[in-house]
């Protein structure tokens, strides 16, 4: 998986929330004889250059064993991973960033995350739409894993399912299928609270689509949705919006116009050049910034 369209050199002056208590974690590792102070300095430099958290950088440099760090991190520093606890069986294997946080897919998602952080330059809020031209290219897969990787930076993150036509985040995260979600919220404005599932995985909250809606576009065009977006931006450090296939329905354009930043997903050997050009053009006409395109190969 790779991302085109962002300038790599921008990563040098990344400002990110690592969320980990680097000094503390470093100290602990020195005391435990796992790292020398010199290695800590190397890791910190690598972390800064690549927009990683301290532990991600330590593993990338091959200085700490994944298993050692995973145990320490998940217990002491709440780095959200999905371990073998029976309670975690409800999480789909698709959540690769949680199941295999140091595998190649998680690695690819992290480098996309770094590029996104660098491109928006705001350290307070990152809101992105993830959009694909057609169904089945991996838009939802990328949105979910990207959101989880933002949560791994200790950035309070919200994943919003705006695909009110074929919702599937509830099933992916083992949430109540009959639960109310975005469509109920937009239809019944009197709901007293936003039905967000908080900290489904530590740091990652989810607003599912709820029941399938007959008129998604009207709902997403409403002032109520506009107000919600504002609320999310003030409550969360990162907000990732999953969308319905953008060339099949107008929903994704409506959401993109509101958010202003989108990442496109192209599936290798499936998405056509014409579709991707059309998608990009469509989002630009609604004044949405296209930050880059992820080439999803699977």
Ligand X SMILES: Nc1ncnc2c1ncn2[C@@H]1O[C@H](COP(=O)(O)OP(=O)(O)O)[C@@H](O)[C@H]1O
205 binds ligand X (CB under 6 A): no
Are 16 and 123 in contact by the 8 Å Cβ rule? The answer is: yes
216 binds ligand X (CB under 6 A): no
User: Residue from 54, 77, 141, 150 that binds ligand X (CB under 6 A)?
Assistant: 141
132 binds ligand X (CB under 6 A): yes
Q: How far is the CB of 143 from Mg ion (least distance, A)?
A: 8
User: Nearest Cα to 18, choosing from 211, 153, 196, 201?
Assistant: 153
* DSSP 8-state code for residue 12: G
Q: How far is the CB of 164 from ligand X (least distance, A)?
A: 13
User: Residue from 19, 26, 98, 138 that binds ligand X (CB under 6 A)?
Assistant: 138
Q: Which is nearer to Mg ion, 126 or 140 (CB)?
A: 140
Q: Which two tokens stand for residue 92?
A: 């789909």
Q: How far is residue 131 CA from its own chain's centroid?
A: 13
Q: Work out what residue 298 binds among ligand X, Mg ion, none; the CB cut-off runs from 5 to 8 Å by kind.
A: ligand X
Q: Which is nearer to Mg ion, 136 or 214 (CB)?
A: 136
Binding site for Mg ion (CB under 5 A): 139-140
Q: Which is nearer to Mg ion, 55 or 256 (CB)?
A: 256
Q: How far is the CB of 41 from ligand X (least distance, A)?
A: 35
> From start to end of the chain, where are the E strands?
2-4, 126-132, 157-161, 197-201, 204-207, 238-242, 261-267, 289-296
User: Residue from 119, 149, 197, 296 that binds ligand X (CB under 6 A)?
Assistant: 296
255 binds ligand X (CB under 6 A): no
Walk across the sheet containing 289-296 and list its strands.
2-4, 289-296, 261-267, 126-132, 238-242, 157-161, 204-207, 197-201
* DSSP 8-state code for residue 269: T
Residue nearest to Mg ion (CB): 140
Virtual torsion, Cα 38, 44, 47, 53, nearest 10 deg: 110
Q: In the range 35-94, which residues lie near ligand X by CB under 6 A?
A: 94
Q: Which two tokens stand for residue 67?
A: 């298993």
270 binds ligand X (CB under 6 A): no
Are 25 and 40 in contact by the 8 Å Cβ rule? The answer is: no
- Binding residues for ligand X, how many (CB under 6 A)? 11
128 binds ligand X (CB under 6 A): no
Q: Work out what residue 225 binds among ligand X, Mg ion, none; the CB cut-off runs from 5 to 8 Å by kind.
A: none
- Collapsing DSSP to helix, strand or coil, 226 comes out as helix
User: Residue from 18, 119, 140, 271 that binds ligand X (CB under 6 A)?
Assistant: 140
135 binds ligand X (CB under 6 A): yes
Q: Which helix (H) or strand (E) holds 232?
A: helix 223-235
Contact residues for ligand X, defined by CB under 6 A: 94, 132, 135-141, 296, 298
């Amino acid at each position: 998986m790779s991302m085109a369209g962002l300038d790599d050199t921008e990563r040098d002056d990344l400002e990110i929330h690592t969320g980990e208590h680097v000094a503390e974690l470093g100290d602990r590792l020195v005391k435990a004889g796992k790292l020398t102070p010199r290695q800590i300095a190397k890791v910190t430099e690598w972390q800064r250059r690549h927009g990683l958290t301290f532990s991600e950088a330590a593993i990338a440099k091959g200085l700490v064993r994944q298993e050692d760090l995973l145990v320490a991190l998940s217990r002491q520093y709440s780095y959200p991973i999905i371990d073998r606890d029976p309670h975690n069986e409800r999480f789909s294997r698709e959540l690769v960033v949680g199941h295999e946080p140091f595998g190649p897919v998680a690695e690819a998602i992290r480098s996309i995350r770094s590029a996104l952080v660098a491109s928006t330059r705001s350290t307070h809020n990152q809101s992105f739409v993830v959009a694909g031209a057609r169904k089945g290219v991996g838009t939802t897969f990328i949105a979910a894993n990207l959101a989880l990787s933002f949560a791994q930076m200790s950035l309070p993150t919200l994943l919003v399912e705006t695909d009110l036509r074929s919702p599937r985040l509830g099933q992916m995260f083992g949430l109540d299928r009959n639960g109310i979600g975005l469509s109920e919220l937009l239809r019944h404005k009197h709901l007293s609270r936003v039905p967000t599932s908080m900290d489904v995985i530590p740091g990652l909250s989810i607003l599912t689509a709820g029941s399938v809606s007959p008129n998604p576009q009207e709902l997403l065009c409403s002032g109520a949705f506009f107000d919600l977006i504002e609320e999310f931006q003030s409550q969360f450090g990162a907000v990732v919006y999953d969308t319905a296939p953008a060339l099949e329905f107008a929903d994704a354009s409506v959401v993109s116009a509101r958010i202003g930043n989108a990442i496109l997903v192209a599936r290798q050997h499936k998405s056509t050049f014409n579709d991707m050009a059309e998608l990009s053009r469509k989002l630009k006409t609604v004044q949405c910034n296209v930050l880059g395109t992820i080439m999803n190969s699977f």
